[in-house]
């Protein structure tokens, strides 16, 4: 399912649904960040309807802020908590749905196919610098690389220099985050409809 391209991102007072993906976050050991703490940080930053998904740093929420302000607010909170910078990649609900829909490897196992999320579109020449590629397949997306690892990502020595500041999620995770964002968007739409009905009822009684 692909959402309409129009979103309310950046419009003053309008709520948007975002997905934030954290880089190099673990549930134990170095860079430990319990998801309950991440949820609390998002709520303290003023985000609404915050939900996390698994322990690798995925969070869905609503905000009236722009993508850039969402990213800055969450990065500041994480730096304060961990004492060092934690990279964050942010997508709107529509953008995440687009990443799922545009997957060029739909016939491959979703657990072995990933999107590597970036802040900006990769250069057209990005694939020329790839090294240690054996049987992996790579495609360039909008602000992502798509990679299929036939033998699994853990067995691969593939190096993509242009993706070094990105973060990867497999297609199972992307599908789940898209579904979570979809439910949040539907809630917003239904809430808007309910508010309209309520106002009409009040007006009719005046």
Output the average pLDDT for the chain.
85
pLDDT in tens, 87-127: 999 999 999 999 999 999 999 999 999 999 999 999 989 99
- What does the alpha-carbon distance between residue 82 and residue 79 come to, in Å, rounded to a whole number? 5
Residue among 18, 29, 2, 173 nearest 97 (CA):
2
- What does the alpha-carbon distance between residue 200 and residue 125 come to, in Å, rounded to a whole number? 56
Residue among 118, 119, 115, 117 nearest 172 (CA):
115
Taking 70 as the threshold, does the pLDDT of residue 29 lie above it? no
Q: Where in the chain is the domain with CATH 3.30.70.1280?
A: 16-98
Q: Which residue has the tokens 């190099």?
A: 24
In CATH terms, 16-98 corresponds, of 1.10.3720.10, 3.40.50.1980, 3.30.2020.30, 3.30.70.1280, to 3.30.70.1280
The fraction of the chain above a pLDDT of 90, given in percent, is 68
- Partners of 145 in beta bridges: 116, 140
């Amino acid at each position: 399912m692909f959402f309409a391209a129009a979103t309310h991102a950046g419009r003053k007072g309008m709520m948007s649904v975002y997905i934030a993906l954290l880089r190099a976050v673990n549930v134990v050991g170095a860079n430990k960040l319990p998801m309950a703490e991440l949820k609390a940080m998002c709520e303290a930053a003023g985000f609404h309807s915050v939900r996390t998904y698994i322990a690798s740093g995925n969070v869905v929420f609503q905000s009236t802020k722009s993508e850039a302000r969402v990213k800055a607010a969450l990065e500041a909170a994480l730096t304060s908590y961990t004492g060092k910078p934690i990279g964050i990649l942010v997508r709107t609900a529509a953008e995440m749905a687009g990443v799922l829909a545009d997957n060029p490897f739909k016939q491959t196992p979703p657990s072995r196919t990933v999107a590597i999320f970036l802040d900006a579109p990769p250069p057209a020449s990005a694939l020329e610098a790839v090294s240690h590629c054996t049987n992996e397949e790579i495609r360039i997306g909008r602000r992502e690389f798509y990679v299929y690892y036939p033998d699994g990502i853990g067995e691969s020595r593939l190096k993509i220099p242009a993706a070094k500041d990105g973060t990867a999620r497999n297609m199972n995770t992307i599908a789940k985050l898209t579904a979570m964002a979809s439910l949040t968007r539907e809630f917003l739409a239904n809430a808007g409809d309910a508010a309209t009905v309520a106002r009409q009822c009040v007006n009719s009684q005046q």
